[in-house]
Amino acid sequence: MAEPAIELVGISKSFGPVRANHDIHLKVSRGTIHGIVGENGAGKSTLMSILYGFYQADSGEIRVGGKPVVIHSPNDAIAQGIGMVHQHFMLVENFTVLENVMLGAEGGALLKRGTAAARAELKRIEREYGLEVDADAVIEELPVGLQQRVEILKALYRGADILILDEPTGVLTPSEADHLFRILGKLKEEGKTVILITHKLREIMAITDSVSVMRRGEMVATLKTSETSMPQLAELMVGRSVLLRVDKASASPGKVLLSVRGLTVKDSRGVTMVDNVSFDVRAGEIVGVAGVAGNGQSELLEAIGGIRKAIAGEIVLNGETLDEATRRDPAALRRKGLAHVPEDRHHMGLVLPFEENENAILGYQNDPKYLSGPLLDLDAIRADAREKIRKYDIRPDNCRLRTANFSGGNQQKIVLSREMEQDPDVLIVGQPTRGVDVGAIEFIHRRLVAMRDAGKAVLLVSVELDEIRSLSDRILVMFAGRIVGERGAGATEQELGLLMAGVEQREAAE
């Protein structure tokens, strides 16, 4: 066993009545990749935030290299060789890569000299770890995979020997995730220590040397990865056995509830992202849309959901061809029976400073059941929110808590409960389990299948190919803005992967 890079001894932390961490003991060996898994709200991010200096523990001790240290701030953590890549990146979007890497470590008042030195050091780190990125590129113009790379570069530039990654693949495509794992392997080869927080048990099994499991704020097990399995880890996380597949009967599709005809959508740059797309979704079926991120799936959902204007085509909802005014009005679409779970819960699904009960009715606040005359009925709203919290196991069970204080997976449940509980005819849903733990994934999948079985039409977009294959009754594959193939539920991963890469389309063209 290698010497510990990090030891946490008896760490406890509470936020008012909520006990986030209780008497946590953890050793992470130097030069290894150590996974930390647990349900949403299990206390993983809080624990790592204590290690990185965002929070201070109520009790306990942190040891780095065997020596007790006091970490009051991220600057203290950086001084101890600890870097962190957050789930939601901490980058200045209109700064360049180089400016973001230098920020807070400018190297003195003479910026010109500091910039030259930083550029040279950045090139060295890029070469050493395979983290190539254009130093002069502006962050907002980079795809998320490269933005994450910048976060890793920032940490290494500041001398990190211990790197914490919080849900690093939550926003990555499968190919970007594979590249990240190669980078982490290289970091390990160079003697760095990596702590990986993730919900994805396949990733734990593929890349970690050891894994610790947290449940309800406590550390319940630490195991060698080679000596455990996904079912065992899932059971330790949730406290019960978890079905790691979707259990559903065959679909019995009924009438067409959503019909899209010749839909064409451009993005803000004028680039065609959805190109003459047509398909139907029937009552009692889940239609999945597979594709590598950036091939038009997001724009397709936004156009159907009334968020983005289509330049051509028509949408028929429950037999009614929607006029332009209705198509651009999400509230009108909701009244006509269409509910939308957006891909980006933070920017489109929630107002994070609002209380949970306020977000639980967002978009439906004019429903008579939430009103008392012309005013909102707060008692009814909060009673409704408490019932959704109970039904969807949202934690903590406090409808007056600010939504920003819930974990990402529980924020996702808030959005899903709001939209599903309206009993829509058509549900369009993007990335339903992004950043969600295995227990919650099982729950969300059951709810989606239950909606299907109740005769609803579900259109599902996900970058998780396993999720698409498990849930969908029919699978549409998008490439370069077009639907390039349709397959049944039995389609293989290889077959779908070829379509996602445009291989069959290119071969046909040749």
Range 354-371 average pLDDT: 96
pLDDT of residue 105: 72
Given a cut of 70, whether residue 112 has pLDDT beyond it is no
For the ranges 42-56, 104-118, 447-461, which has the lowest average pLDDT? 104-118
How many percent of the chain have pLDDT more than 70?
95
Question: pLDDT-based confidence at 505, cuts 50/70/90?
Answer: low
Range 45-64 average pLDDT: 94
Matching residue, tokens 């990090």: 6
For the ranges 175-189, 300-314, 323-337, which has the lowest average pLDDT? 175-189
Given a cut of 70, whether residue 504 has pLDDT beyond it is no
d(CA 225, CA 162): 20
Given a cut of 90, whether residue 311 has pLDDT beyond it is yes
pLDDT in tens, 443-481: 899 999 999 999 999 999 998 888 899 999 999 999 999
pLDDT of residue 243: 60
Given a cut of 80, whether residue 56 has pLDDT beyond it is yes
Question: pLDDT-based confidence at 338, cuts 50/70/90?
Answer: very high
Question: pLDDT-based confidence at 509, cuts 50/70/90?
Answer: very low
Residue predicted with more confidence, 168 or 7: 7
pLDDT of residue 299: 94
pLDDT of residue 257: 98
d(CA 494, CA 501): 11
Range 157-171 average pLDDT: 86
pLDDT of residue 48: 93
φ, ψ dihedrals at 155, nearest 5°: -65, -45
Mean pLDDT for the chain overall: 90
Kindly report the CA angle at 305 between 301 and 308, in degrees rounded to 5? 80
d(CA 508, CA 287): 25
pLDDT in tens, 388-415: 999 998 988 999 999 998 887 889 999 9
d(CA 510, CA 505): 9
pLDDT of residue 510: 45
Range 373-378 average pLDDT: 95
Matching residue, tokens 């050793």: 27
Question: pLDDT-based confidence at 363, cuts 50/70/90?
Answer: very high
Shortest CA distance to 281 belongs to which of 298, 308, 300, 309? Answer: 300
- The answer to whether the beta carbons of residues 97 and 149 sit under 8 Å apart is no
For the ranges 60-64, 423-427, 442-446, which has the lowest average pLDDT? 442-446
Is the bond preceding residue 396 a cis peptide, omega within 30 degrees?
yes
Beta strands in 198-255 (DSSP E): 210-215, 218-224
Given a cut of 50, whether residue 374 has pLDDT beyond it is yes
The string of DSSP codes covering 114-150 is HHHHHHHHHHHHHHHHT----TTSBGGGS-HHHHHHH
Given a cut of 90, whether residue 166 has pLDDT beyond it is no
Please give the single-letter amino acid code of residue 308. R
Residue 486 host element (H or E): strand 482-488
pLDDT of residue 258: 98
Q: Which residues pair with 355 in a beta bridge?
A: 402
Question: pLDDT-based confidence at 174, cuts 50/70/90?
Answer: low
Q: What global pTM score does this model have?
A: 0.71
pLDDT of residue 242: 64
pLDDT in tens, 231-246: 899 889 887 766 656 7
Domains of the chain: 4-238 (3.40.50.300), 243-337+424-510 (3.40.50.300), 352-419 (no CATH)
pLDDT of residue 508: 41
Q: Which residues touch 102 (CB under 8 Å, ≥6 apart)? A: 114, 115, 118, 157
